Structure 1
Amino acid sequence: MTMKILYGAAPEDVKGYDTEQLRNAFLITGLFAADAVNFTYTHVDRLLLGGAMPVTKSVTFGSGAEIGTPYLLSAREMGIANLGDTGTVSVDGQSFTLDNRDVLYLGRGARTIALASLSGNSPARFYMNSVPAGADIPHRLIRKGDSKPVELGDISRSNKRRLAMYIHPEVAPSCLLLMGITDLAEGSVWNTLPPHLHERRMEAYCYFDMAAHDRIIHLMGRPEETRHLVVANGDAVLSPAWSIHMGAGTGPYAFVWGMTGENQEYNDVAPVAVAELK
């Protein structure tokens, strides 16, 4: 298991960042390496973000040595989304089978987590978000069909999309973590319109189901001084509370969104008119 540390940045700092500095601070690449578990710990709301792709063997994690606790989830909860083919997650001897687009919620106190693919020729791709938790909530597997879909956008404005809530008070409870998956309709390219801020929560995006040659142009920053990141398949983006988050793709794509902060009110946002962006 590897653990990268990111300290976050203030909007005043970002004004002077070049492309490499911006990418180093907010873009996470290389999440899905064969037979490895890669985590990034960010001081932005202490989100832990990770990826794993077991190919020839199962991969195991659970030690909290990197974060100063007996186990990684001693005081944390976690969501695990399978973005690949069928795989299994074993948690302290309890086994769950995750098909594509299934999400597993792990409550505080889990000790040893093992990830495996049903077939190495078509491996699972496990994407993980973990945040501090102050409550004990049982583990729960949320199938794709159990998620709550919400239709958003308009095909005439190229932003029609379906948002599926998984770890959410209306579907599966958690302490502070929210997690779901958004798919763009055929012919739509824009996500997260209108752009907005949520001062009381941060968010992370993981873009997936993209062709190797396609890219997402992810817009971030203060509304009056935006920046952009060019994002490839399997890359993740950190979005602090002070930043807008929206983007457009050069081809079909989907993304996992994860949030944490002061509340779980999905609509606790401050919309920003596109005409006000600079």
Structure 2
Amino acid sequence: MRVLYGVSPADIPSMDTDRLRGEFLVEDLFAVGEIRFVYTHVDRMILGGAVPAGGTLSFGGGADVGTELFFTAREMGIANLGGAGTVIVDGETFAVANRDVVYVGRGTREVVFASDDAASPARFYMNSVPAGADIASRLITRAQSKPLTLGEDARSNKRTLRMYIHPEVTPSCLLLMGITDPAPNNIWNTMPPHLHERRMEAYCYFDLADEDRVVHLMGRPDSTRHLMVADGNAVLSPAWSIHMGAGTGPYAFVWGMTGENQAYTDVDPVAVKDLK
């Protein structure tokens, strides 16, 4: 498990591109036949990737988080961004198709991953955060998610946001998780840019072609920076940072949040004309 310690917004002006990418961009989550985790001190979220092929992958021990079990004091959302697979949570098997999400509750002892077809493996993306309540694990299919259509074609930001782990769909302690798809021929996401001082967020961009990138904008509104993001990369967005992006081709992203509340609309918008 790699550890990222987080930085102050006052540190950003002194960062070159490599340092900025090292602190906020996770490029190596998905490796065939492995589980990889990154622990960030930004609200203690853990990002993970698992790509089972030709066998199973499993985890559950808590050595890396200082507890008996990984889930002694944590919950998790697992989104499948690849081929069909299964997630087994303490012996309960969930068949997980592309764009389905599994919620894993506090107290779980073991999670096991498998792919239905090693030639087209599942690609499991994980967000885990501290939790103070015991909530049952469950599968949320794409059909069970709650879609919201936002934006407009005229501004190139029309998109469908699907809530999966959210009080209106399935309960959790502090984790929120969903998937957003820009509409065809639309490039911008998350407009208008905004801050949510009471929550941090992580993005995982996926379904990009090899030659395409998302230009992810971050930083304080009066001192923005950018990250060039490839398929399968994840971006950490602290509470003090704006976040929005534009793609050079089709893409989608998983968003995960945690903090003081689960109020998705608890945001402070920033007018584009005020960005610098």
Partner of 1:66: 64
Determine if the alignment matches structure 1 residue 43 to structure 2 residue 41: yes
Match for 2:200 among 199, 202, 208?
Answer: 202
d(CA) in 2 for partners of 1:93 and 1:188? 42
d(CA) in 2 for partners of 1:264 and 1:92? 27
Could you tell me how far 1:252 is from its partner in structure 2? 0.1
Amino acid at match of 2:75: E
Partner of 2:73: 75
Could you tell me how far 1:57 is from its partner in structure 2? 1.4
d(CA) in 2 for partners of 1:62 and 1:240? 27
Could you tell me how far 1:5 is from its partner in structure 2? 0.1
- TM-score normalized with structure 1 length: 0.99
Partner of 1:276: 274
The runs of 5 or more residues in structure 1 that have no matched partner are none
Encode CA deviations 1:99-150: one digit per residue, 9 max, x unaligned. 0000000110111111000000000000000000000000010000000000
Amino acid at match of 1:244: I
The runs of 5 or more residues in structure 2 that have no matched partner are none
Within 5 Å, which residues of 2 pair with 1:101-112? 101-112=99-110
Could you tell me how far 1:181 is from its partner in structure 2? 0.2
Match for 2:259 among 258, 261, 274?
Answer: 261
Determine if the alignment matches structure 1 residue 173 to structure 2 residue 171: yes
Encode CA deviations 1:188-240: one digit per residue, 9 max, x unaligned. 00001000000000000000011011000000000000000000000000000
Within 5 Å, which residues of 2 pair with 1:16-35? 16-35=14-33
d(CA) in 2 for partners of 1:194 and 1:90? 39
Amino acid at match of 1:258: G
Match for 1:193 among 187, 191, 194?
Answer: 191
Could you tell me how far 1:31 is from its partner in structure 2? 1.0
Could you tell me how far 1:95 is from its partner in structure 2? 0.9
Could you tell me how far 1:77 is from its partner in structure 2? 0.3
Within 5 Å, which residues of 2 pair with 1:76-225? 76-225=74-223
Could you tell me how far 1:39 is from its partner in structure 2? 0.4
d(CA) in 1 for partners of 2:172 and 2:221? 31
d(CA) in 2 for partners of 1:120 and 1:248? 33
d(CA) in 2 for partners of 1:197 and 1:143? 29
Within 5 Å, which residues of 2 pair with 1:206-245? 206-245=204-243
Counterpart secondary structure, 1:84 = coil
d(CA) in 2 for partners of 1:140 and 1:66? 25
d(CA) in 1 for partners of 2:268 and 2:2? 31
Amino acid at match of 1:155: D
Which 4+ runs in 1 deviate beyond 6 A? none
Could you tell me how far 1:93 is from its partner in structure 2? 1.1
d(CA) in 2 for partners of 1:248 and 1:26? 17
d(CA) in 2 for partners of 1:27 and 1:47? 14
Counterpart secondary structure, 2:243 = strand
Encode CA deviations 1:222-269: one digit per residue, 9 max, x unaligned. 000000000000000000000000000000000000000000000000
